[in-house]
Amino acid sequence: MRYSQILIPTLKEDPAEAEVVSHRLLLRAGSIRKLTAGVYTYLPYGLAAIRRVENIVREEMNRAGAQEVLMPMVQPADLWQESGRYEKYGPELLRFRDRHERESCLGPTHEEVITDIARRELHSYRDLPVNLYQIQTKFRDEIRPRFGLMRGREFIMKDAYSFDTDDAGAEQSYRKMHEAYTRIFTRCGLEFRCVEADSGAIGGSFSHEFMVLAATGEDTIAVCTACDWAANLEKAAVKLGPQPAAVDPLPLVKVETPGMKKVETVCEFLGVEPERLVKTMVYLADGVPVAVLLRGDRELEEVKLKNYLRAKDIRMAQDQEVFDATGVPVGYLGPVGLSLRLLADQEVMRVANAIVGANEKNFHLQNVNPGRDFQVAEVADFRQICASDPCPSCGGALRLVEGIEVGHIFKLGTAYSEAMNARFQDQQGNDRPLIMGCYGIGVSRVVAAAIEQNHDANGIIFPVPLAPYPVTILNLGNKDEAITAVAEQLYTQLQEAGIDAFLDDRDERPGSKFKDADLLGFPFRITVGKRYAESGMVELRRRRDGFTEEVEVAGLVELVRQRLNEESAGR
């Protein structure tokens, strides 16, 4: 592609609307333009990057035996009423009436449509397993769309749906997608982790998220520095370190702590570390109060509590609700003598001679010991994992990092097939619900995530597999026949060698050409300029680290190929 033949309206200044790096650089690199909140046009350069992702996704989905289909964007409301999601989904589901007053919506996801197809077309175990996918524009009416392609309202998604006869088959379909996703993000040249995740609104039995690691992620994940283990904070199981040495229990003491309701204040007053304090938190689980014990230096992980309680909805009780449930003002609650369903984080059972609230205003208890001073029947893992915890898998050191969710796979089970009556006949002639899985990749988001992970102060640094053009040639002598001839010759030779080269043939100053090449993030840059006229040499430069080689024109195509292969292999 010649720069003179493609519309890449680069911006010299940072646009005010952009809050994150990928949004800013995609705008500056003339790759996207906002039409309205969360809705973007992909200009030629941005679309080319998206197509690179699409192609990798399509190849790997096909390789995994999935079949490409294309479902409609406009969907009838009645299917969503059947699944029960028309009420549940909330205002992100954009609803409207067509000219005949039929209730309709714009597809934010396609479980209903695919289940409708399945119940009409898949009748027998002989038709199964099937995995159908599409690459399609979705619409979710986010209340606060932001960050450009990271959280838009209209976006490109690959969504796949598997149908199996039994759980073992469904798990194999799930595993195949897990493998396909791993290959996809590896081929994209991204550093990522697969983490166990909560299933959230989609429902179903279990799920994994694929997270691209980047400083500006929306989610925090825990990753092991020694092994492969990684997990979403809400799902990361805490593995306790070795049992601490036994400590002699001391006699229980009641102390006056006037006006001291906070962990820090009480600890400072009593001269102990927060890990010696056990805090008592009251939550409402579907409206019913429960108390949870947690070490003073820890954070509760609400998703763990919610899942343990199998509650639809949990929230921390407000002060008055705590008082109504316990008769004790907030700040002085404790497990000794508390008449409320009592849960304890596993770590609490190891705290010896603890500080707790005395269930009396302005008083705490010292030297409290579980078992001796209070009983708790329900002990589990309720807290958020920390960087100081050991890896639950190998015991190695953990790191908490930011991640951008680019893929999510779900084992759905029979939630949709039961609700929508999608059944098949098994080998014995029995009528049974289809077992489903669903698998999403945010195609446009992958491009944004790639930029969040790969950029510097000068612009994008595209991983080779996602680069619209892996190499650009800067002709620094548009007026010089010899320089222009060799730039054109290299452009032709690279294309003939199957390398999708870019040629900056514009009548611009060298400074602009260098700046734009950096901004656009070509992985390699060939400069043909004065030095060629003097010595017959051109320059090959790697964007990622600035590694630069002076080379003769003769062997350049081969060298470019070699460097591109190294880049792809090195990731």
Near its own copies by CB under 8 A: residue from 25, 49, 57, 117: 117
70 binding its own copies? (CB under 8 A): yes
State the SS3 of 407-440: EEEEEEECHHHHHCCCEEECCCCCEEECEEEEEE
17 binding its own copies? (CB under 8 A): no
The CB-of-60 to its own copies minimum distance in angstroms stands at 16
121 binding its own copies? (CB under 8 A): yes
400 binding its own copies? (CB under 8 A): no
Residues touching its own copies, count (CB under 8 A):
53
Characterize the bridge pairing of strands 354-357 and 314-316: unpaired
213 binding its own copies? (CB under 8 A): no
Interface stretch with its own copies, choices 62-70, 196-204, 284-292, 471-479 (CB under 8 A): 62-70
Near its own copies by CB under 8 A: residue from 113, 343, 355, 490: 113
36 binding its own copies? (CB under 8 A): yes
318 binding its own copies? (CB under 8 A): no
Give buried/exposed letters for 53-91 (b at 16+ CB in 10 A, else e). Answer: bbebbbebbeebebeeeebeeebbbebbebbebbeebee
143 binding its own copies? (CB under 8 A): yes
479 binding its own copies? (CB under 8 A): no
47 binding its own copies? (CB under 8 A): yes
Strand partners, 300: 383
Does residue 291 contact residue 335 with C-beta atoms inside 8 Å?
yes
Does residue 404 contact residue 211 with C-beta atoms inside 8 Å?
yes
277 binding its own copies? (CB under 8 A): no
The CB-of-351 to its own copies minimum distance in angstroms stands at 48
Near its own copies by CB under 8 A: residue from 21, 130, 221, 503: 130
Per-residue binding letters, 81-100, with its own copies (x by CB under 8 A): ----------xx-x-x-xxx
Round to whole Å and give the CA distance between 303 and 309: 10
Near its own copies by CB under 8 A: residue from 60, 111, 116, 452: 116
Terminal alpha carbon distance of the chain: 26
Q: Which is nearer to its own copies, 116 or 389 (CB)?
A: 116
Residue 99: CB atoms within 10 Å? 5
293 binding its own copies? (CB under 8 A): no
Backbone angles phi, psi at 362, to 5 degrees: 70, 20
Residues within window 150-169 making contact with its own copies, judged by CB under 8 A: 153-154
The CB-of-243 to its own copies minimum distance in angstroms stands at 53
Round to whole Å and give the CA distance between 49 and 467: 6
Of the candidates 512, 495, 504, 516, the one whose C-alpha atom is nearest the C-alpha of residue 560 is: 495
Near its own copies by CB under 8 A: residue from 59, 71, 531, 542: 71
Nearest 5 degrees, angle CA 84-CA 87-CA 88?
80
Residue 142: CB atoms within 10 Å? 16
The CB-of-94 to its own copies minimum distance in angstroms stands at 6
Near its own copies by CB under 8 A: residue from 18, 43, 328, 528: 43
Q: Which is nearer to its own copies, 77 or 272 (CB)?
A: 77
Does residue 530 contact residue 482 with C-beta atoms inside 8 Å?
no
268 binding its own copies? (CB under 8 A): no
Q: Look at residue 92 and give its three-state secondary structure.
A: helix
Does residue 214 contact residue 402 with C-beta atoms inside 8 Å?
yes
Distant-in-sequence, close-in-space partners of 511: CB < 8 Å, separation ≥ 6: none
68 binding its own copies? (CB under 8 A): yes
120 binding its own copies? (CB under 8 A): yes
The CB-of-43 to its own copies minimum distance in angstroms stands at 6
Interface stretch with its own copies, choices 29-37, 337-345, 362-370, 404-412 (CB under 8 A): 29-37
Round to whole Å and give the CA distance between 462 and 31: 13
75 binding its own copies? (CB under 8 A): yes
Q: Look at residue 475 and give its three-state secondary structure.
A: strand
Characterize the bridge pairing of strands 459-460 and 278-285: unpaired
**Interface residues toward its own copies, by CB under 8 A:** 5-7, 9, 30, 33, 35-37, 39-44, 47, 50, 65, 67-76, 91-92, 94, 96, 98-100, 102, 104, 106, 113, 116-117, 120-122, 127, 130, 132, 137, 139, 141, 143, 153-154
